[in-house]
Every structure is written in C-alpha cells, then in structure tokens.
C-alpha cells in the first residue's frame, strides 16, 4: 500500500488533543508511514507549540489538498479567526471548533482526500448543538456513513474488548439488551476481526451481565433469557462464541489471553479492566464502518491539559493502527477477490 494520508482532528481545543498531536508528529519518523493532515488552524497549533518548547513541529499550512506536502506534517486550516484557548476549561467555544474540525475532516474522508481518520477526544457536554446532536464520535460516524450498526472496540496488541452497549446509564442497560442486539454486534465484531485484523476464525468470549453471570438465574434472568439464546443462534451459524463468563473471575484469571476478543455487556464492565491492564497504548476502534476510524482510549483530560505532561502513546498507537488496518483491509480485499468455487459433489442416490 502506498503511504496513506491520515486525517487527525484536534479534539477539544482545551483538552490534551493538540498537545499530544504535537508530541507525536514532532517525531519525523512518523512521515515514513503516512502523510498526516491535522484539521485545525495554525494559530491553535502555535498556541500549544509555545507550551512545548522541547518538541519542534515543522509543518506546511494548507487550505487545499492540492498543496499537500508528503514530506511534512500538514495543517489544514478549517478556520482563520482567533479562538480563545484556555487549557483545562470546559467552554462552548472549544466544543464548537472541535466539531468543526471533525466535520471538515469527515467531509474530506467522504471525498477520498484522506484514507483514514484519527479523532482526538471531545467532550460530550460542549459539543451538543443543532448541527451535532450526538453523544460522541461513534454515533456521528454511524449516521454519517449510513452504517446499519457499529461497535466500539478498545484494544492493545492482542487484548481486545468490545461493547454491546456503550454510553448508557446503568439503569438502561438491561432494558436495551436484546438477542437481536447481541447477535448483530457480535457478527460485526467477527467480521471486523476477519477483515481488519486478519483473524480467520476468531474466538470470542462473552461476559454475563450480572454478578457470577446470573448464577443460573438466581441473580438476574438476562443470561438465561437473552445472552445464552443469542449465543446459541450465533453458534448455529458457525460463530465461535464462549461463555457467558462472570466478569470478575474472567479477568482475575487472565482468561482474556485465550481469546481474540472479549465482549462486555456495558461500558464500565469492559473498559475498567481494559484500561487497568492495557497500559497507556490502548486504541479505540469503530467496527462496522466502511471507513477506518481510530482514536486514543482516553478523554479530554482537562486536569492535565496545557501542563505538557499528557502521554502521547495512545494517540501514536491510534495512528499506527489506522495505517495497519488500512493495509489489512487491502490485503483482505485481494485475498477474497477471486475465491475458488467449491465442487458440488452429488449426493448418493
């Protein structure tokens, strides 16, 4: 695959997004793997450059992709006006321009000007508007690219955790959990592991919803009435699903090492153990999209924004993984483009 053009959004201007972007892209070796395009403004970049004197970022300022420079980091100017930046503060202005960065980058993705997108963190509270009525990046990309369904997956090397439900109050999780939802999302996970990660026959672990995975119906009925029947349907279709497992014992005994992915029923059930065990290089990936979108596995981190101490590891890995998945998709497309037909053996009469 030729060196891809990877779009990178700024995230919340008052968060750690631009800080980590500068740290990652100051290393010129990144240019060996991709041509990065940051969707923001020179002024926003220069604000954080002054806070990071030890990181020298050389970039080309562009307003059109005709001017893109494959030998430099490119800053695609989405706005020219001065925007007040106050690291660590939650402001409507920072949310407004985070959305503008995302929308311009996404339009370029739809037009094929960039091959993949890496999104820096936004805050759900200050991005809500008539133009952006989404709880986060995942539902935005689902609607924009008209995907039937998508799945949030976090991973670090071979440790992957995917979610059946995402940003829901705990009181709503059981209400939203259905056989159809579990079957749909595990099928998406399976197909993504095959197409995006090169795992032909993925082994999928499924966690229960309740303590002790319901203890045969004594502690909740969801396992017996919803999760197990959904798994039966998947197994009948040849999907290798195992469980449901009690979440605490599963991670306590490092059972995740035996599987290609762990499917959690709700956000904290999967993400607390993932972030505790995966370290600082976790990546968030959206399965089920026709495009490749990754992001760091952390939020805006207002408590450390502007202090120069935010780790760039997760963002760096998100860029690497966007490149890797693009390459894997190309290889998968070539591998499956002209399959041999099976010979149909006549049944004995």
Domains of the chain, first to last: 1-147+289-349 (3.40.718.10), 148-283 (3.40.718.10)
Contact 218, 177 (CB under 8 A): no
Whole-angstrom distance, CA of residue 136 vs CA of residue 129 = 12
CA dihedral 152, 155, 159, 164 (to 10 degrees): -10
d(CA 103, CA 97): 10
Question: Which band of pLDDT confidence, cut at 50, 70 and 90, is reported for residue 341?
Answer: low
Contact indicator for 121, 299 with CB cutoff of 8 Å: yes
- Inter-CA distances, 13 with 3, 66, 94, 300, Å: 28, 27, 5, 9
pLDDT in the model for residue 2: 83
* For residue 65, pLDDT beyond 90: yes
β-bridge pairing 59-62 and 241-245: unpaired
Euclidean distance between CA atoms 108 and 39, whole angstroms: 10
**Best CA proximity match to 34, nearest among 70, 68, 59:** 70
What rounded mean pLDDT belongs to the chain?
Answer: 94
Tell whether pTM > 0.85. Answer: yes
Q: What are phi and psi of 173, to 5 degrees?
A: -60, -50
Q: Which helix (H) or strand (E) element contains residue 60? A: strand 59-62
**Structure tokens given for 263:** 């499917």
Percent of the chain with pLDDT over 90: 88
Please, are residues 121 and 136 in contact by the beta-carbon 8 Å criterion?
Answer: no
Count of beta carbons in the 10 Å neighbourhood of residue 311? 17
Whether residue 178 is predicted with pLDDT greater than 80 in this model: the reply is yes
pLDDT band at 279 (very low <50, low <70, confident <90, very high): confident
Q: Are 180 and 288 in contact (CB under 8 A)?
A: no
pLDDT band at residue 130 under the 50/70/90 scheme: confident
User: If you count them, how many residues does the chain have?
Assistant: 349
Mean predicted confidence (pLDDT) in 230-255: 96
pLDDT at 285: 96
Q: Are strands 292-296 and 283-287 parallel, antiparallel or unpaired?
A: antiparallel
12-36 confidence digits (pLDDT tens): 999 999 999 999 999 999 999 999 9
Nearest Cα to Cα of residue 230 among 187, 261, 260:
187
- Per-residue pLDDT of 84-108, as tens digits, reads 999 999 999 999 999 999 999 999 9
User: What is the edge-to-edge ordering of all strands in the sheet holding 116-118?
Assistant: 59-62, 73-77, 35-40, 5-9, 116-118, 292-296, 283-287, 151-156, 159-163, 261-264, 204-207, 241-245
> For the segment 280-327, what is each residue's pLDDT rounded down to a tens digit?
789 999 999 999 999 999 999 999 999 999 999 999 999 999 999 999
User: What's the whole-number mean pLDDT along residues 158-171?
Assistant: 94
When pLDDT is averaged across residues 229-233 and rounded to a whole number, the result is 98
Tokens representing residue 261 in the block: 């992915």
pLDDT of the residue at 241: 98
> Is the per-residue pLDDT at 345 higher than 60?
no
Tell me: pLDDT of 55 over 80.
Answer: yes
pLDDT band at 256 (very low <50, low <70, confident <90, very high): very high
What 8-state DSSP symbol labels residue 225?
I
- Quote the pLDDT of residue 349: 43
- Adjacent-strand bridge partners of 284: 154, 295
Instruction: Give Cα 219 distance to the centre of its chain.
Output: 33
Per DSSP, 149 falls in state -
Higher-confidence residue of 201 and 131: namely 201
pLDDT for position 269: 97
Residue 348 has pLDDT above 60, yes or no: no
Predicted local distance difference test score (pLDDT) of residue 1: 58
CA distance 57 to 76: 15
Q: Which of 157, 188, 155 is nearest to 295 (CA)?
A: 155
Strand 151-156 versus strand 283-287 pairing type: antiparallel
């Amino acid at each position: 695959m030729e060196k891809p053009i990877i779009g990178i959004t700024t995230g919340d201007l008052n968060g750690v997004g631009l800080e980590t972007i500068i740290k990652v892209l100051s290393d010129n070796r990144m240019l060996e793997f991709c041509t990065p395009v940051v969707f923001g403004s020179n002024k926003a970049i220069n604000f954080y450059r002054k806070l990071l004197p030890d990181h020298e970022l050389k970039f080309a300022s562009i307003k059109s992709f005709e001017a893109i420079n494959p030998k430099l980091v490119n800053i695609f100017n989405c706005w020219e006006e001065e925007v007040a930046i106050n690291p660590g503060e939650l402001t409507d202005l920072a949310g407004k321009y985070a959305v503008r960065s995302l929308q311009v980058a996404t339009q370029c993705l739809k037009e094929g000007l960039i091959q993949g997108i890496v999104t820096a963190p936004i805050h759900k509270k200050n991005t809500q508007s008539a133009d952006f009525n989404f709880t986060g990046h995942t539902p935005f990309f689902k609607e924009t690219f008209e995907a039937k369904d998508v799945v949030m997956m976090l991973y670090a090397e071979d440790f992957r955790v995917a979610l059946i439900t995402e940003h829901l109050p705990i009181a709503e999780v059981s209400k939203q959990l259905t056989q159809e939802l579990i079957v749909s999302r595990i099928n998406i996970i399976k197909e993504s592991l095959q197409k995006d990660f090169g795992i032909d026959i993925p082994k999928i672990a499924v966690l229960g919803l309740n303590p002790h995975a319901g203890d045969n119906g004594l502690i909740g009925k969801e396992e017996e009435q919803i999760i197990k029947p959904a798994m039966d349907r998947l197994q009948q279709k040849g999907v290798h699903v195992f469980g449901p497992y009690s979440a605490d014992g599963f991670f306590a005994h490092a059972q995740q090492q035996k599987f290609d992915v762990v499917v959690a029923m709700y956000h904290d059930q999967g993400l607390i153990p993932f972030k505790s065990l995966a370290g600082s290089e976790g990546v968030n990936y959206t399965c089920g999209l026709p495009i490749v979108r990754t992001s760091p596995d952390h939020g805006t981190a207002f408590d450390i924004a502007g202090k120069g101490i935010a780790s760039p590891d997760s963002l760096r890995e998100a860029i690497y993984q966007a490149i890797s998945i693009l390459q894997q998709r190309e290889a998968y497309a070539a591998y499956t483009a002209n399959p041999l037909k099976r010979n149909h053996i006549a049944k004995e009469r």
